[in-house]
Amino acid sequence: MSLASLEYLPYLDDNGCIPEDVQRKIGVYAIFDQGKELQFVGYSRDIYLSLQQHLVRQPQKCYWLKLQTITRPNRTILEETRRAWIAENGKVPIGNVADERSWIQAIDVKPMMSEAEKAQYLAGGELEQSKTLKKAARRIETIVKQQLSDRGVAMDLRFNPKLKEKGLLDLK
């Protein structure tokens, strides 16, 4: 199915949640910003979980969706559909090239550390560094959660506490 033939779906429903009918669904999805410009095309064995991660990582770029589900996992079909949608778009979305890391990997808090946090991190031993990373991760988590709240997100999103010690934020 072509990307153009699919209808735009709101990323968040009226309750500030990702539509639950995509839970545990396998398929390809396209994410659009507020102006309906394609930002990222991906595929997943659980579209819902993937959409949650993208929303946390890129809250200001996740406003509209298009998706196509399949009943059984088939990487070839998923990859071919993804490639076809990107080709149909005429250019590779920023989230699939230069900005891909920020769409698909945990949020790394190290580049967002304050000067005081960086100094404390560099001066400390392994235990102190872990504590500094965890503290910085909690600070950044508060900022991310505020951005999500400002965006209208009402879902309960929990970050993996073990990753915070490594300076990473990712949903549990």
The two tokens of residue 143 are 């900022």
Residues 99 and 113 in one domain: no
Sign of the four-CA dihedral 163, 169, 170, 172 = positive
Query: What is the predicted pLDDT for the residue at 97?
Result: 94
Counted domains in the chain = 2
- The domain of 49 spans 9-104
Asked if residue 132 belongs to a domain, the reply is yes
Query: What is the predicted pLDDT for the residue at 124?
Result: 86
Count other Cβ atoms within 10 Å, centred on residue 133: 22
CATH of the domain at 24: 3.40.1440.10
DSSP class of residue 106 equals P
* Length of the chain, in residues: 172
- Angle at CA 93, nearest 5°, toward 105 and 13? 75
Asked if residue 4 belongs to a domain, the reply is no
Asked if residue 3 belongs to a domain, the reply is no
Residues 97 and 76 in one domain: yes
Residues 144 and 159 in one domain: yes
Residues 98 and 131 in one domain: no
Residues 151 and 163 in one domain: yes
Query: What is the predicted pLDDT for the residue at 131?
Result: 94
Residues 38 and 94 in one domain: yes
Mean pLDDT of each 10-residue bin along the chain, 172 residues long? 95 94 95 97 96 96 96 93 97 93 95 95 92 96 95 93 95 91
Residues 68 and 82 in one domain: yes
pTM tops 0.85: yes
Query: What is the predicted pLDDT for the residue at 113?
Result: 96
Residues 25 and 93 in one domain: yes
